[in-house]
């Protein structure tokens, strides 16, 4: 719990009410030690993301601690380098694996902790927004598809996988259902904000010098990729900056 207090002082950390409920349940059922160990796994996982983000000078907006996972939200550009995004995403699971094997060799932990560690690792790698698995898929989609298409497809995948998880669960598990409900709500909010996110993506291209080396020739803004700059094909080809300047200047 001391680690949570340190993080709370350093960052904008939000502890979900369900975290306290399950902590109290663990205390009265005699599983408090296991819950503390499992919570430390969650926190170490998020420290992996935080450390990698700090290496790239990413600013932390908020950290959410849930009973069976955590979410670190950064205040970085949508147009952040895809390699950076991949490294920050993978750093959480990698540090979790290293930490788990460390405590497994130094502490007397039971099979329950081992099960929940791997369950957390597997669940977190599912392609459901905003889990790490969705961020890995997002990087891949953004590399092979225009940003707008990639973002829509990510939302669709999130809903499909969430539905499949509910259908294959086979029995009622309050914790898992609440977690999936939380993720579905996050996906719905992402879908609602799609237009805003796409406009923000465009505005960043207009407002910032992103220093992108590679060039693609396209005919409209829906074909814009995240990792390169663009030349718009017309009677007289114009640069991305020129095209977006006309677009945003006309709206001001």
If one compares 38 and 58, the residue with the highest pLDDT of the two is 58
Encode pLDDT of 167-214 as tens digits: 887 665 677 787 888 899 999 999 999 999 999 999 999 999 998 999
d(CA 179, CA 186): 11
Per mean pLDDT, which range of 66-75, 217-226, 232-241 is the poorest? 66-75
Of 48-62, 138-152, 169-183, which one has max mean pLDDT? 138-152
Whether 251 has a pLDDT exceeding 70, the answer reads no
The answer to whether residues 74 and 91 touch, using CB atoms and an 8 Å cutoff, is: no
The answer to whether residues 142 and 117 touch, using CB atoms and an 8 Å cutoff, is: no
DSSP state at residue 131: S
Whether 47 has a pLDDT exceeding 50, the answer reads yes
d(CA 37, CA 41): 6
What are the beta bridge partners of residue 60? 74
DSSP state at residue 120: H
Print the SS3 string covering 62-83: EEEEECCEEEEEECCCCCCCHH
Whether 54 has a pLDDT exceeding 80, the answer reads yes
pLDDT attached to residue 9: 45
The answer to whether residues 139 and 82 touch, using CB atoms and an 8 Å cutoff, is: yes
Helix (H) or strand (E) holding 15, with range, is strand 13-15
149 Cβ contact list (under 8 Å, min separation 6): 141, 222
pLDDT band at 55 (very low <50, low <70, confident <90, very high): very high
Encode pLDDT of 64-122 as tens digits: 887 677 889 999 999 999 999 999 999 999 999 999 999 888 887 778 788 888 988 99
Per the document, the length of the chain is 252
The answer to whether residues 101 and 82 touch, using CB atoms and an 8 Å cutoff, is: no
Whether 4 has a pLDDT exceeding 60, the answer reads no
pLDDT attached to residue 173: 65
pLDDT band at 29 (very low <50, low <70, confident <90, very high): low
């Amino acid at each position: 719990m001391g680690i949570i207090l340190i993080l709370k002082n350093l960052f904008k950390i939000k502890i979900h009410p369900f975290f306290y409920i399950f902590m109290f349940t663990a205390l009265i059922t005699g599983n408090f030690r296991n819950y503390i160990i499992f919570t430390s796994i969650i926190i170490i996982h998020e420290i992996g993301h935080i450390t990698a983000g700090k290496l790239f000078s990413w600013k932390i907006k908020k950290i959410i601690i849930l009973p069976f996972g955590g979410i670190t939200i950064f205040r970085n550009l949508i147009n952040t380098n895809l390699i950076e995004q991949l490294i920050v995403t993978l750093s959480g699971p990698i540090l979790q694996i290293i930490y788990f094997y460390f405590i497994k060799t130094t502490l007397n932990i039971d099979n329950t902790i081992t099960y929940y560690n791997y369950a957390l690792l597997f669940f977190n790698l599912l392609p459901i927004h905003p889990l790490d698995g969705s961020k890995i898929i997002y990087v891949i989609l953004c590399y092979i598809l225009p940003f707008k298409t990639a973002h829509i497809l990510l939302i669709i995948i999130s809903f499909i996988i969430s539905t499949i998880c509910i259908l294959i669960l086979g029995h009622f598990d309050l914790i898992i259902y609440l977690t999936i409900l939380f993720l579905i709500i996050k996906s719905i909010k992402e879908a609602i904000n799609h237009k805003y996110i796409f406009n923000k993506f465009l505005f960043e291209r207009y407002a910032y010098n992103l220093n992108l080396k590679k060039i693609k020739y396209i005919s409209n803004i829906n074909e814009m990729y995240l990792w390169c700059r663009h030349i718009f094909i017309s009677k007289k080809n114009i640069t991305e900056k020129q095209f977006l300047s006309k677009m945003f200047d006309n709206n001001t």
